[in-house]
Structure 1
Amino acid sequence: MPSAVIVHAAVFTAGAVIGGGLAVAVSNKNRATQPPPIIPYTPAPRPNESTPVIGLDIISGKTQLSKGLTITSNLPAVLKYGNPGPISDTLVRKAYVAGYDRRLRHPAWTAEHLTRANLAKLGGEPVGDRANSKFIEDDDVPDTFRARLQDYFRSGYDRGHMVPAADAKISQEAMNETFLLSNIAPQVGEGFNRHYWAYLEDWCRRLTGTFQDVYVFTVPLYLPKQEADGKWRVTHEVIGSPPNVSVPTHFAKVVLTTRPTSPSAPDVHEISTGAFVLPNAIIRDDAPLEGFTVPVEAVERAAGLSLFSDQIKAQSKHICRSTKCEVIVRKFDDAQKKGRKAVASPKYT
C-alpha cells in the first residue's frame, strides 16, 4: 500500500487557451493585388495547471491542501490556434482555493482547510474585520466571463459566500478575498443565506474543536425536478442585465475530518466524511441537519467532481457518527443585512 492517500478535491481543466497569433495585413491600393504575407506558426508552450489536492500521509498523519501537482496539456494540431475549453479558472487565495465556472459565473467548487489555529483570534481580536471588506469583481477572471456587481443589483438574491468571511479571519487580505465575486453565488437571503446556511457554516467551524483537521468543500448544484408530465428537468433562474449569473437550485457542503484515534497513537488517524445538500430556498430553523445528508458520491455525480478517492470513502466513518450533526440557531449578521429583500421562494418543509 502506498504511504500516502491522495484525495482529489475537484475536477480540473482539459486544457487551456493557446494560440498562434492572427496577423491582419493592410495594404494600400498599389499592393492590393499581392497575396497576404504568410505568418509562420510557432506553437505556444504547453500550459501547466495547478491542481489542488488533499494529501494524507498515513505514516506521519499530516494533512495539507497542496498545489504541488501539475497537469500538462498535450493538444492536437487542430487546436493550434486556440482550445475552446472547457476552462476552469483555479483561483488560489490566502484561505481557500476555488474553481471558477466561466459559464455559470460563480464557483464550481471551493476548498478550505480549517484548524483551530487558523480560526483563532490573535490577541483576543480577529485580524480580519468584515466591516473593512467590500464586494468587488475579480480581475483574475477574464473580463468576458466575470460576474459583476450590477448582476446582483436588485436581483432579489444575496451575494452568498461560498467560503464564508468568518473562515478567513487570519488576515484582512484573506477576508477581503472572500468578498471577490468569484467566491460568490446567488442565494436566497432571509431564511437561507442569513440563517440556515450560516448555521451550517458555523457547524463546519465548530468541527475544529473536535478534529485536528477539517476540510470543507462547497459546491453549487443544479438538480433536476420531476414535473407533472413525469419527465425530469433542470430549471434555474439567471440574473443580471444581460442575464449572466446562474442561480443554483441547491448547495452542498462536503467535509472531511481527521483526528488521532487515541492519545497513545497520535500518528494513526481516524477519517470522517459527510455531505449535506440544501435547497436554495427558505429552510425552517428547526429542520434537522441530518435530514440533509446524502452520500458523497451523490454530490460527485451531480457536480461532475471527484472529491475523495475510493479508498478514503471506504475507510472513513460518517461524520454524524463521529460527532453531533446539529446546528446552533443564531441570527448571523441580521443587523447588518436588515432591509435587504429576500427572493420569494417556497418554504422547505
Structure 2
Amino acid sequence: MVLALPLAILLAGYPARAADHPANDPLTCRAIWQSVGLPDPAADDGREITTVCHIGYITGHNNANKTPDWVVERITAETASQEFTRPDVSFKEETALPPGRQGAVNADYADSGMDRGHQAASADFSGDREAMIDTFFYSNAVPQSGRGFNQQIWRELEDLVQHLARERGEVVVITGPVNLEEKGIRLPAEADACGNAVELTRPARTSICDANDTDPSVPCGAGAGAVVPAALYKIIYDPALQRVNAYVMPNIDHRPGRKKVKALTYLSGFRVGVSTVEALTGLRFFTAPGEMSGRSLRETCPATMLH
C-alpha cells in the first residue's frame, strides 16, 4: 500500500517544493493523489513548483507563470452529488506560497477578457459546499477563452467527468495548461496513441496583467501577470478499472469549428494518449510506485469512458 511507504519513496525524484505552510506538504492530502502519484517534470528544467493541498485537490503552482502546472483531484459519487449549486464567491489569492512569491491577483484577470478558468471545477465538489468554495483560489485557475471554450465545450467535458464519477464511484483527474514558448507546435497523428494530431499556436496575448488590459500588445514584463496557455489538458483515471482517457484542447473559441456537433463527437477529435500530454507539458504522469503499469497507461488509448 502506498500509505505504508516512507516519504523518501513517495516523493522520490520530485523537485524541491516550498514547505513554509502546512498546506505545502503533499502528504497531508495524499488520499487525493496516492493512486496516481504527483506529476513530475520529466527533466530538470528549472521550473519552481509549490504544492498546495486544498480540501478536494492539490495544485502544483508554477511560481513564475502564476498558474498551476497541474491540479490533481479525486472526485467521487458523493463529492459530485449535485446537492449544492455554484457558490456566489470570488476568486482569491493563494496564501500558501513561499515568502517573496506572489501568485495571480484580481488585477491580472480584471478587464482582461479572459475567464478565470477552474482546473478542479467547482461542480466537481457539488456535494460539499466548503469544498466548492475552496476551488476559488488563483492557484487553481488559468486564463481561459470564455464563451466558446471555458463556458461551453470545456464545461461540457467537466459535466461528463462528473457524471462518470457518480456512475463509477471514484475517478482521479489531472488538469492543467499547455504553455508554448515557440510560435507553434504540431504533433502528427501517427505519434499519438489515439491517432489524433495536435496542432497548437502560441496565443497572441501570452500573459495578462493590469498593464495590458486596454492594450494587449503591452508586455506584462518578466515575472508579472498570469501566463495564457495555448491549450488545456485533462487526464481522467478510473482506479478500479485502471483505465485512462486524456484530452488536449486549444484555448480558443471552438464555436466556429464545432457548430452543432454533439459534445462527445467533438471531444473525440481531441483525445490523445498520456504520452502526448507529457510531450507537450514536460511532465511525467502516473508516478505512484507499485500501483500500476505507468507505461501501458501512457502509451495506450482505451475506449472512452465518457457517455
Q: Same fold (TM over 0.5)?
A: yes
> For residue 281 of structure 2, what is the aligned residue in structure 1?
303
Residues 115/317 of structure 1: CA separation in 2 closer, same or farther (3 Å cut) = farther
Is 1:241 equivalent to 2:210 in the alignment?
A: yes
Is 1:276 equivalent to 2:247 in the alignment?
A: yes
> For residue 152 of structure 1, what is the aligned residue in structure 2?
109
Residues 109/11 of structure 1: CA separation in 2 closer, same or farther (3 Å cut) = farther
Partners of 1:203 and 1:139 in 2: CA distance: 31
Q: Is the contact made by 1:105 and 1:146 (CA closer than 8 Å) also made in structure 2?
A: yes
Partners of 1:154 and 1:11 in 2: CA distance: 40
Q: Is the contact made by 2:273 and 2:299 (CA closer than 8 Å) also made in structure 1?
A: no
Q: 2:15 aligns with which of 13, 16, 33?
A: 13
Q: Deviations over 1:274-305 (max 9, x none)?
A: 11000000112526211101110111222222
279-288 or 111-120, which moves further after superposition? 279-288
Give the SS at the match of 2:52: strand
Residues 248/9 of structure 1: CA separation in 2 closer, same or farther (3 Å cut) = farther
Q: Deviations over 1:206-245 (max 9, x none)?
A: 1124423211100200245159xxxx98565111034211
Partners of 2:26 and 2:2 in 1: CA distance: 19
Displacement of 1:315 in angstroms is 6.4
Q: Which residue identity lines up with residue 153 of structure 1 in the other structure?
A: A
Partners of 1:306 and 1:96 in 2: CA distance: 18
Displacement of 1:11 in angstroms is 8.2
Residues 315/152 of structure 1: CA separation in 2 closer, same or farther (3 Å cut) = closer
Partners of 2:143 and 2:227 in 1: CA distance: 8
> For residue 78 of structure 1, what is the aligned residue in structure 2?
none
Is 1:321 equivalent to 2:297 in the alignment?
A: no
Partners of 2:299 and 2:165 in 1: CA distance: 17
> For residue 72 of structure 2, what is the aligned residue in structure 1?
111
> For residue 257 of structure 1, what is the aligned residue in structure 2?
238
The two structures have a TM-score, normalised by structure 1, of 0.62
Q: Is the contact made by 2:245 and 2:301 (CA closer than 8 Å) also made in structure 1?
A: yes
165-174 or 301-310, which moves further after superposition? 301-310
| Unaligned runs of at least 5 residues, structure 2 | 39-45, 187-199, 212-219
Q: Is the contact made by 1:10 and 1:306 (CA closer than 8 Å) also made in structure 2?
A: no
Displacement of 1:251 in angstroms is 0.2
Give the SS at the match of 1:119: coil
Partners of 2:304 and 2:145 in 1: CA distance: 31
Is 1:136 equivalent to 2:92 in the alignment?
A: yes
Residues 10/279 of structure 1: CA separation in 2 closer, same or farther (3 Å cut) = farther
Q: Is the contact made by 2:248 and 2:270 (CA closer than 8 Å) also made in structure 1?
A: yes
Same amino acid, percent of matched pairs: 28
The two structures have a TM-score, normalised by structure 2, of 0.70
The aligned length equals: 251
Displacement of 1:9 in angstroms is 11
Q: Which residue identity lines up with residue 14 of structure 1 in the other structure?
A: A
Displacement of 1:176 in angstroms is 1.4
Partners of 2:19 and 2:133 in 1: CA distance: 29
Is 1:163 equivalent to 2:132 in the alignment?
A: no
Q: Is the contact made by 1:107 and 1:220 (CA closer than 8 Å) also made in structure 2?
A: yes
Partners of 2:72 and 2:172 in 1: CA distance: 7
Q: Is the contact made by 1:52 and 1:65 (CA closer than 8 Å) also made in structure 2?
A: no
Partners of 1:10 and 1:295 in 2: CA distance: 25
Residues 210/258 of structure 1: CA separation in 2 closer, same or farther (3 Å cut) = farther
Q: Is the contact made by 1:10 and 1:109 (CA closer than 8 Å) also made in structure 2?
A: no
Partners of 1:50 and 1:206 in 2: CA distance: 28
Give the SS at the match of 1:321: coil
Displacement of 1:319 in angstroms is 6.9
Displacement of 1:138 in angstroms is 1.6
Q: Is the contact made by 2:32 and 2:58 (CA closer than 8 Å) also made in structure 1?
A: no
Residues 200/17 of structure 1: CA separation in 2 closer, same or farther (3 Å cut) = closer
Residues 315/138 of structure 1: CA separation in 2 closer, same or farther (3 Å cut) = closer
Q: Whose Rg is larger?
A: 1
Displacement of 1:114 in angstroms is 1.2
Is 1:181 equivalent to 2:138 in the alignment?
A: yes
Q: Deviations over 1:39-83 (max 9, x none)?
A: xxxxxxxxx9536998xxxxxxxx86349x99xxxxxxxxxxxxx
**Higher RCO (C-alpha under 8 Å, 6+ residues apart):** 2
Q: 1:50 aligns with which of 26, 34, 41?
A: 26
Residues 317/113 of structure 1: CA separation in 2 closer, same or farther (3 Å cut) = farther
> For residue 33 of structure 2, what is the aligned residue in structure 1?
65
> For residue 95 of structure 1, what is the aligned residue in structure 2?
56
Q: Which residue identity lines up with residue 250 of structure 1 in the other structure?
A: A
